[in-house]
Amino acid sequence: MTTPLLTVRSVKTFYGRVMALKGVDLDVNEGEIVTLIGANGAGKSTLMMTVCGNPRAREGMIDFAGQNITRMPTHEIARLKLAQSPEGRRIFSRMTVLENLQMGATTADPSHFKRDLDRVLTLFPRLQQRISQRGGTLSGGEQQMLAIARALMAQPRLLLLDEPSLGLAPLVVRQIFDAIKTLNAEDGLTVFLVEQNAYHALKLAHRGYVMVNGFITMSGTGHELLERPEIKSAYLEGGRH
Amino acid sequence: MASGAPAKRVDAVRALRDAGVTALLTFGLFLPLIGFQTVTDVRNDLILNTRWPLLFAVVALVGFSRLAYSFAIEPWLQNRALKPAVEPAAWRGKVARWIIPFAIGFVVAYPAIVLATAGFGRAVKWIDNFGIQVLIYVMLGWGLNIVVGLAGLLDLGYVAFYAVGAYSYALLAKTFGFSFWILLPLAGTLASFWGILLGFPVLRLRGDYLAIVTLAFGEIIRIVLINWVDLTNGYAGITSIPRPTFFGIPFNADDDGFAAVFGLEYSPIYRTIFLYYLILALAFLTAFVTMRLRRLPVGRAWEALREDEIACRSLGINTTNTKLTAFAMGAMFAGFAGSFFAARQGFISPDSFTFLESATILSIVVLGGMGSQIGVAIAAVVMIGGTEIMRELDFLKLVFGSTFDPTQYRMLLFGLAMVLIMIWRPRGLITTRQPSVVLKERKAIASDLVKEGHG
């Protein structure tokens, strides 16, 4: 394996005086699906936001595609083709689905717009039906699809997904995870997925990390982690659906 | 209602008590304001008059209005909220399609219509006070609409850029004798420069904080204009500002003046008509540029910024630059309008650029429906045109006595209009938003989907 696409080295992030990440190391290789699981408040989303430069890491180093992005402003990180579907979806609710997708393509090569649009609409046929509808009128699952599709319009090398299954019906969760799998298998997209839904995430991912209280406590392939008794008891029992 | 739950019965006791409390509050409030009046007599002594009948008339009026609200308007509003949204009738689509071409035709033909109906003598007043005045505010409303309506940045000091444009034109034209046509773009540039200058420190702010800073900025500009007497002549203002020429031909009674060159009898009306078309062209320019910008990446970024700033950043949009362009663009149109204002008046002073002007322009944008150009135009016609019409209501003097001046009640009517709009259409007159890009057919976004009270 060559150098990883994303490298996180002993990153510490603070909210005021509270340390949220206490020295995190993590790698995402090209072509992989990597998942980060953990309980509420473990610092999963903080890590994802720190990769995007908001909040910024106080210590440590983050490398993306051979470039040090630790001190870069968020919009410049996004221009390196690191796309994010943020927590809470954050779609533009007064703008139509098509306009949302167009906003996603802000940093992309405009000549590929039509092709990319067709791609995401085949991936999420529901968005095709809703194309001229206002973003805010979509259901939760559709909004999540839109958030992912919008991120994909930027032609990313790495897609960061923050809790895509949050608050969605099991059937919709399956659709979204299937789409992520397709993207990885067919387009070779690298995905870094933060999830609470540990069972699904670990089944999908090539590798996984477990975060507890701002530390990475365990890592391994998805299968290995699924078999670990401590993971089973902490994250899987009763959580399977 | 034909279907659904029956409308709730009005609780008469509660309504009466409510009206009573309202009347009591009114009494407390207006007792010192209306109930007592001090006048000075011939010997300069203060005399305290009481005006009980007027006070009780007002209290009764408010009390009964509140009663009427409880019995009629409140149930109506509740029923309306319960009713499912109905498809707009077919005629409304037809009207909507023809209203814009008709309105454009009307404003283009307006001077001719006025000349035909009011005659040569009175036409100047109608074109100048009514047409030009309204169009200046339409243009300012459209300019502010970029900042407030599209980018969602609440700007309470918009008049500052208007002032910058006006003083730029006035000072440069008087000192260096440059023509209007050179100074118009220059005034716009200077105003947008100030827009960027203001933008830099306030970029991190949003919402209330931004509003306060822009409010302060507007006041700073005005106070500088008042106190920098060497440059601006302070309160006295700048007089005899050169008037715009018809591509080099001045509007005067000389042999090389407009009337003489075109073989017409001299009349001030030619200048007025020229100014009317000038501001009309400037206003159309504002509308056209805004419409085009909305379909460009920068315009879409403005709207996205209004929706969600964090999402914008994660999509690679430089929010700093996007806000700056919105500020600069809005300021530029205010600068154009300002230089036109100075050229039309021939006299400017800091009094023309008070906070009240900012508030008026902002209320035009809010009442019209943020982001809607047609709505803003309608609101400007009603608010500014309405004020001008009030000056014409001489017959009211027969009713209320010869000292009655309807324009004194302007603010009262503004307030009333605003209350009514907020009850009837809380998101402004025109609340549909046209998508800037469509695949097949264009479809307006219904008003109840547009977030309330949000830029």
Residue A193 forms beta bridges with which residues?
Answer: A35, A161
Q: How confident is the model at residue B130, as a pLDDT? A: 87
Q: Report cis status (omega within 30 of 0) of the bond before B111.
A: no
Q: Answer yes or no: is pLDDT of B220 > 90.
A: yes
Question: What is the reported pTM?
Answer: 0.84
Over range B109-133, report the average pLDDT.
Answer: 86
Phi, psi of A192 (to 5 degrees): -115, 115
Token pair for B415: 């307030």
Over residues A124-148, the pLDDT tens digits come to 999 999 999 999 999 999 999 999 9
Minimal CA separation from A83 to chain B, in Å: 7
Q: How confident is the model at residue A188, as a pLDDT? A: 92
Q: How confident is the model at residue A134, as a pLDDT? A: 92
Q: Which B residues 242-301 touch A at CB under 8 Å?
A: 297, 300-301
Using pLDDT thresholds of 50, 70 and 90, give the confidence band for residue B50.
Answer: confident
- CA–CA separation, B301 vs B278, rounded Å? 31
Using pLDDT thresholds of 50, 70 and 90, give the confidence band for residue A51.
Answer: very high
- CA–CA separation, B215 vs B222, rounded Å? 11
Using the CB atoms, write b or e for B53-78: b if 16+ within 10 Å.
Answer: eebeebbeebbeebbebbeeebeeee
Q: How many CB atoms lie within 10 A of CB B170?
A: 29
Q: Answer yes or no: is pLDDT of B252 > 90.
A: no
- CA–CA separation, A78 vs B118, rounded Å? 62
Q: Name the residue with higher pLDDT: A41 or B284.
A: B284
How many percent of chain B have pLDDT more than 70?
Answer: 92
Residue A134 forms beta bridges with which residues?
Answer: A96
Token pair for B51: 């005006």
Would the CB atoms of B308 and A92 count as touching at under 8 Å?
yes
Would the CB atoms of B449 and A78 count as touching at under 8 Å?
no
- CA–CA separation, B66 vs B15, rounded Å? 8
- CA–CA separation, A118 vs A84, rounded Å? 20
Cα nearest neighbour of A147 on chain B: B311
* Residue B314 in contact with partner chain A when CB distance is under 8 A: yes
Token pair for B216: 């302060």
Burial category of A186 from C-beta neighbours within 10 Å (exposed 0-12, middle 13-18, buried 19 and up): exposed
Alpha helices in B369-440 (DSSP H): 373-380, 386-390, 395-400, 410-424
Q: How confident is the model at residue A1, as a pLDDT? A: 52
Chain A residues touching B307 at Cβ < 8 A:
92-95
Using pLDDT thresholds of 50, 70 and 90, give the confidence band for residue A237.
Answer: low
Over range B235-255, report the average pLDDT.
Answer: 85
Q: Answer yes or no: is pLDDT of B120 > 80.
A: no
Phi, psi of B153 (to 5 degrees): -105, 115
Would the CB atoms of A78 and B303 count as touching at under 8 Å?
no
B133-144 vs B373-380: helix crossing angle, rounded to 10: 150
Over range B373-397, report the average pLDDT.
Answer: 84
User: B203, B308, B315, B324: which to substitute to probe chain A, counting the most A Cβ within 10 Å?
Assistant: B315
* Secondary structure tally for chain A: helices H, strands E: 10, 10
Using pLDDT thresholds of 50, 70 and 90, give the confidence band for residue B238.
Answer: very high
Q: How confident is the model at residue B88, as a pLDDT? A: 61
Q: Which residue of B303, B314, B451 is in closest CB contact with A84?
A: B314
Q: Answer yes or no: is pLDDT of B138 > 50.
A: yes
Q: How confident is the model at residue B354, as a pLDDT? A: 93
Using pLDDT thresholds of 50, 70 and 90, give the confidence band for residue B3.
Answer: very low
Minimal CA separation from A93 to chain B, in Å: 7
Chain A residues touching B316 at Cβ < 8 A:
75-76, 78-79, 106-107, 154
Would the CB atoms of A52 and B451 count as touching at under 8 Å?
no
How many percent of chain B have pLDDT more than 90?
Answer: 41
Q: Name the residue with higher pLDDT: B34 or B144.
A: B144
Q: How confident is the model at residue B445, as a pLDDT? A: 56
Would the CB atoms of A95 and B304 count as touching at under 8 Å?
yes
Q: Answer yes or no: is pLDDT of B360 > 60.
A: yes
Q: How confident is the model at residue A208, as a pLDDT? A: 94
Q: How confident is the model at residue B403, as a pLDDT? A: 76
Q: Name the residue with higher pLDDT: B377 or B96.
A: B377
Q: Chain-wide mean pLDDT for chain B?
A: 85
CA B373 to chain centre: 12
Over residues A4-28, the pLDDT tens digits come to 999 999 999 999 999 999 999 999 9
Q: How confident is the model at residue A206, as a pLDDT? A: 94
Q: Name the residue with higher pLDDT: B373 or B93.
A: B373
Would the CB atoms of A132 and B438 count as touching at under 8 Å?
yes
Over range B239-252, report the average pLDDT.
Answer: 84
Over residues A208-234, the pLDDT tens digits come to 999 999 999 999 999 899 888 888 888
Q: Answer yes or no: is pLDDT of B263 > 90.
A: no
Q: Name the residue with higher pLDDT: B331 or B244.
A: B331
Q: Answer yes or no: is pLDDT of B399 > 80.
A: no
- CA–CA separation, A126 vs A172, rounded Å? 11
Cα nearest neighbour of B299 on chain A: A103
- CA–CA separation, B213 vs B208, rounded Å? 9
- CA–CA separation, B312 vs B301, rounded Å? 8
Q: What angle do CA A226, A227, A231 make, to 5 degrees?
A: 60
Q: How confident is the model at residue B444, as a pLDDT? A: 56
Q: Provide the 3-class DSSP secondary structure of residue B129.
A: helix
Using pLDDT thresholds of 50, 70 and 90, give the confidence band for residue B2.
Answer: very low
Would the CB atoms of A131 and B439 count as touching at under 8 Å?
yes
| DSSP code at position B403 | T
Would the CB atoms of B314 and A74 count as touching at under 8 Å?
yes
Q: How confident is the model at residue A241, as a pLDDT? A: 44
Q: How many CB atoms lie within 10 A of CB B345?
A: 17
Would the CB atoms of B449 and A136 count as touching at under 8 Å?
yes
Would the CB atoms of A107 and B315 count as touching at under 8 Å?
yes
Q: How confident is the model at residue B250, as a pLDDT? A: 82
Q: Which residue has the tokens 């009764």?
A: B60
Over residues B296-332, the pLDDT tens digits come to 989 999 999 999 988 999 999 999 899 999 999 999 9
- CA–CA separation, B264 vs B16, rounded Å? 69
Task: Tell me the residues of A at the B interface, defined by beta carbons under 8 Å apart.
Answer: 52, 54, 73-76, 78-79, 83-84, 86, 90-96, 98-99, 102-104, 106-107, 131-132, 134, 136-137, 150-151, 154
